[in-house]
Amino acid sequence: MKQDLRDWILQALTALQAGGSLPAGDLPDFVVERTKSRDHGDFATNAALLLAKAAGSKPRDLAAALVAALPARAGIARVDIAGPGFINIALDGAAYAQELRTILERGDAYGRNGSGRGRPVQIEFVSANPTGPLHVGHGRGAAVGDSLARVLEANGWAVTREFYYNDAGAQIANLALSVQARSRGLTPDHADWPADGYRGDYILDVARDYMAGATVHADGQDVRGAADSDDLDAIRRFAVAWLRREQDLDLRAFGVVFDVYFLESSLYADGKVEATVRDLIAAGHTYEQDGALWLKTTDFGDDKDRVMRKSEGGYTYFVPDVAYHVDKWRRGFQRVVNEQGADHHSTITRVRAGLQALDIGIPKGWPEYVLHQMVTVMRGGEEVKLSKRAGSYVTVRDLIDEVGRDATRYFLIARKTDSQLVFDIDLARAQTNDNPVFYIQYAHARVCSVRRQLAERGLSWDRPNGLAHLDRLAEPHEQALLLELSRFPEVVEAAAVHLDPQLVAQYLRDLAAAFHAWYNAHHFIVDDADLRDARLSLAEGTRQVLANGLDLLGLSAPEAMLRDDSVGLAAAETV
């Protein structure tokens, strides 16, 4: 709807250019947006304000000329000029009726657009070290990252989902030592347990499988346990493969699948880290001091220079990150979005500085970052901190087992990523209108119940008749619901522009509220066939948009749900 109005205004601007009232050339990127109050109309544009200077005209005078140049168009109730030169546009009922027709015609494609033009974008998310089960922070990254991918696909981008395995470094060494200790019969409370060893029950599971000669399949390869507690390299390979498989199982249970798994160790094996360091030295942005190699990150906005190679040998953690992103760039990803925990904030400046220092055409501000804050899990009003399986944190699998995949995903998406999140297990399990995911899915199920009741009464929805009588949808609840439905394409677009799937989650809750209010106030299956078919058209349009929005968040759209009448979610089910 908003894009159609923008195209309509562009027609008028083009006419003004042709008549000499506006200079030829590209037009500025004017805004068409919803008004804050419908008393001022439905939409407003600042086109006249932006173009007045170029036209040598007062903004209100240009606004008057622009309004006069607007071609005749169905669905427009009035066009007013307000303030210094804003143009307010009020729509009539026919415009919202036409949007409902569009919803029913486009079906699963409603809300999608082609703004991405098929351009490639890589989204890297989760990227957990293969040292243990995925914790709730990883779960938030998985839910947000996968929803971002879905939203960008809905906006016409060609998305590649990538998982970066940090399978090199001290943490992997500690993993191998932990599994070795378990394979020798030691427990975490033993005096010889590794100082930085992992203590969760899963370490015992890895050690048992390794000593039993089990085979695990991860990333297209089979790795078999050598059953030799002295072979630390074999233990490391098996443990990494075992945990990669476990993490993949966790993610699949969460409805998340990746296109590419990239190993940090491959950057060393393929010489890409060394090549990146040589290129940085050749570019003249490094220096030696105190036996260490430094990168002059202050040349690119950092508050101080950073060590690349330590005096005792070995690279600091951001160096392979730079090499990894060079690899992304050379794979053709001119747009990359990294979804990570907020604890990665300090690496952004130095990674970008390293990429700029290479001077290979990478633009400033590449890659983009979406950082999520921590998650606190609550049950019975108290924080849940431990998981027997992990030993020291709550896992994604814990949450899925407790409340199901849909509730877990929604709750981890439902707040802006830069806000800390409280995951209330009791609320996520509740079948009440306080539980937003239940509330939204129940709205979808209610429409499906209408279908069943129609069949039980020997009736059917006459879609052409319903579409021919949408003018019968005149009740305030119906008008409010039609307005809410028309917002969906704008929400999908905004979620992609701002990289914020929480906008979709909030929209679905608002849409469900509008639907439940209408459902509780009016009967659908009435004797008047024209009104009945019109209301069924609106109900089906709502079901379609709910399903489309739930899909963007990776949630199911159930056709039936359990319901607790005692909580007042529905006063009656007579439709």
Mean pLDDT of 250-279: 94
In this structure, the number of other CB atoms found within 10 A of the CB of residue 431 comes to 15
CA distance 45 to 29: 11
Segment among 211-215, 216-220, 233-237, 554-558 with least mean pLDDT = 216-220
pLDDT of residue 168: 79
- Is residue 28 pLDDT above 90, yes or no? no
Of 495 and 168, which is predicted with more confidence? Answer: 495
What is the rounded distance in angstroms from the CA atom of residue 120 to the CA atom of residue 156? Answer: 10
> What is the share, in percent, of the chain residues with pLDDT greater than 90?
83
Whether 81 contacts 67, CB under 8 Å:
yes
For the cut 80, the answer to whether the pLDDT of residue 142 exceeds it is yes
Q: Give pLDDT, residue 562.
A: 66
Q: Which residue has the higher pLDDT, 81 or 390?
A: 81
Q: What are phi and psi of 378, to 5 degrees?
A: -120, 145
Instruction: Specify the range with the lowest mean pLDDT, choosing from 224-228, 292-296, 312-316, 459-463.
Output: 312-316
pLDDT for 55 equals 86
Residue 160 DSSP symbol: E
Residue 572 has a pLDDT of 35
| pLDDT, greater one: 171 or 543 | 543
Give residue for tokens 């000593």: 211
Q: What's the mean pLDDT when you consider all of the chain? A: 93
Q: Does the pLDDT of residue 237 top 90, yes or no? A: yes
The whole-number pLDDT of residue 345 equals: 84
Report the range of poorest mean pLDDT among 22-31, 204-213, 461-470: 22-31
Instruction: State which of 430-434, 440-444, 570-574 shows the largest mean pLDDT.
Output: 440-444
**Strands 286-289 and 292-295: what pairing?**
antiparallel
Q: Which residue has the tokens 């599994």?
A: 179
Read off the tokens for 405: 């995949």
**367: preceding bond cis by omega (within 30 degrees):** yes
pLDDT band at 239 (very low <50, low <70, confident <90, very high): very high
The pLDDT of residue 249 is above 80 = yes
Answer for the pair 445, 561: CB distance below 8 angstroms, yes or no: yes
Among candidates 463, 417, 353, 471, which has minimal Cα distance to 145? 417
Task: Please check the confidence at residue 196 and state whether its pLDDT lies above 50.
Answer: yes
Residue 224's SS3 state is strand
pLDDT band of 388, cuts 50, 70, 90: low
Sorted by sequence, the CB contacts under 8 Å of residue 177 that are 6+ apart come out as 194, 197, 232
DSSP 8-class letter at 123: E
pLDDT tops 70 at residue 392: no
For the segment 155-170, the average pLDDT, to the nearest whole number, is 92
Confidence label for 29 from pLDDT (cuts 50, 70 and 90): confident
Q: In angstroms, rounded to a whole number, what is the distance separating the alpha carbons of residues 231 and 212? A: 14
Do 295 and 354 touch, CB atoms closer than 8 A? yes
Strand partners, 341: 372
Instruction: Please name every residue paired with 162 in a beta bridge, in sequence order, or none if there are none.
Output: 124, 260
What value does the mean pLDDT take over residues 409-421?
96
Q: Is the pLDDT of residue 569 over 60?
A: no
Specify the pLDDT at position 567.
Answer: 35
Q: What is the pLDDT averaged over residues 122-141?
A: 94
pLDDT in tens, 308-333: 999 998 899 899 999 999 999 999 99
The model's confidence at residue 300, banded by pLDDT at 50, 70 and 90, is very high
pLDDT in the model for residue 573? 44
Predicted structure pTM score: 0.90
Q: Which residues contact 496 (CB under 8 A, 6 or more apart)?
A: 115, 116, 151, 152, 154, 155, 157
For 446-484, what is each residue's pLDDT tens digit? 999 999 999 999 999 999 999 999 999 999 999 999 999
Q: What is the DSSP letter of 367?
A: S
- Residue pair 54/12 in contact by the 8 Å Cβ criterion: no
Question: What sign does the CA torsion over 397, 403, 404, 407 have?
Answer: negative
Residue 287: other Cβ atoms inside 10 A: 12
Task: Please state, in angstroms and rounded to a whole number, the distance separating the CA atoms of residues 288 and 299.
Answer: 16
Please tell me the least confidently modeled range out of 141-150, 283-292, 342-351: 342-351
Q: What would you report as the CA-atom Rg of the chain, rounded to the nearest whole angstrom?
A: 29
